[in-house]
Amino acid sequence: MHETSIAKQILDAVLEKAEGAGAKRVARVRGWVAESESLSPSSIALHFEAHARGTPAEGASLELDLKHLSARCSCGVVYKPEHHILLCPKCSGTDGELLGTPGLGVDSIEIE
């Protein structure tokens, strides 16, 4: 499952930052996941919880917002891509440029 490796990567990054800050415990992690990634924020959070057992992040909440992306066609139309396909609804062009940041990111880490 893709979500488990993503959750582990998030946890590793969070623990590295927390250790660098001298934190004893991680209380909360806030971030985002791009809609285009076909990932479930709630599934990632469950895997994060499982991976965090026995670490300073045990019991920490992982709050991920779903970030909606849009695309801009060379004809100038801005649209929301459907099913990961950059197809302009006006001219049927396929040379759209993805606007925003795909993937996922961590915005903040609350430590104690």
* Alpha carbons 74 and 103: distance in angstroms, whole number: 23
Domain harbouring 50, CATH code: 3.30.2320.50
Condensed to tens digits (0 to 9), the pLDDT of residues 62-102 reads: 999 988 889 999 999 999 888 778 899 999 999 989 888 77
Cα 29 to Cα 62: distance, rounded to the nearest angstrom: 5
Work out the percent of the chain whose per-residue pLDDT is above 70. 97
Number of domains within the chain: 1
Q: Which domain holds residue 35?
A: 2-68+101-111
In a domain, 86, yes or no: no
Question: Is residue 89 included in any domain, yes or no?
Answer: no
In a domain, 79, yes or no: no
